[in-house]
Chains A and B, each alone.
Chain A
Amino acid sequence: DAGITQSPRHKVTETGTPVTLRCHQTENHRYMYWYRQDPGHGLRLIHYSYGVKDTDKGEVSDGYSVSRSKTEDFLLTLESATSSQTSVYFCATKGGQPSYEQYFGPGTRLTVT
């Protein structure tokens, strides 16, 4: 999985609790992304980062926030988890120009009860 780790790999949490997922990369890639994968929807972009402290929203950002204080770490926070946020979350990275391909972590399976 190209030097990308995600933690935790599995988590069960209750509705209304905050949850933070961590992505760590050793590739020194500039860009980092958080996706969620749901049956029938493929992968949808939640937030992405184009540098330390530089982040932007993706397609499905409501209810999520991110932070990137170091090149290697990108955190995804569910401010108050809801059952609709039960999903598999993937982190991905990409090098700077001129590369286009993304490298994915192993995923975190999150269940909100």
Chain B
Amino acid sequence: SQQGEEDPQALSIQEGENATMNCSYKTSINNLQWYRQNSGRGLVHLILIRSNEREKHSGRLRVTLDTSKKSSSLLITASRAADTASYFCATGPLSYNQGGKLIFGQGTELSVKP
């Protein structure tokens, strides 16, 4: 069962522009995380936002969370060609006793053209 749905599925922008990706989920969560995957590589954790937080920043990344709408967005500002990758949201369950299992969305493919 897929928890997260990401939108858009693919995004192509020019270097220097901002990129916004959205994630919607279905059930109550403890936290929401964003990961990046470069082609042919494993996923890399970018940022985590807890359910009691509304916004979080890390460098050029800004994440927002709206638990009433069960949605999150990831904004990458001043994008670079090196940001070209797939980006996945993942939700963490309410109870830590559920083994820390994450449910991943299907991802957004971001292409940043020089």
Contact = CB atoms under 8 A, between A and B. Distances in A.
B41 A107 contact: yes
A100 B42 contact: no
A41 interface: yes
B26 interface: no
A1 B42 contact: yes
B43 interface: yes
Contacts of B100: 31, 94, 100, 102
Measured as residues with beta carbon below 8 angstroms from the partner, the interface class of chain A is 20 to 34
Measured as residues with beta carbon below 8 angstroms from the partner, the interface class of chain B is 20 to 34
Interface string A98-113: 1011111111000000
A24 B2 CA distance: 28
B100 to A, nearest CB: 5
B101 interface: yes
Contacts of A12: none
Given A100-B48, A106-B42, 20 more contacts: A40-B106, A42-B2, A42-B104, A42-B106, A42-B107, A43-B43, A44-B104, A45-B102, A48-B101, A90-B42, A97-B96, A100-B30, A100-B33, A100-B100, A102-B45, A104-B35, A104-B42, A105-B42, A107-B40, A107-B41
Interface of B: 1-2, 4, 30-31, 33, 35, 40-45, 48, 88, 90, 92, 96, 99-107
Interface of A: 1, 4, 31, 33, 35, 40-45, 48, 50, 56, 58-59, 90, 92, 94, 97-98, 100-107
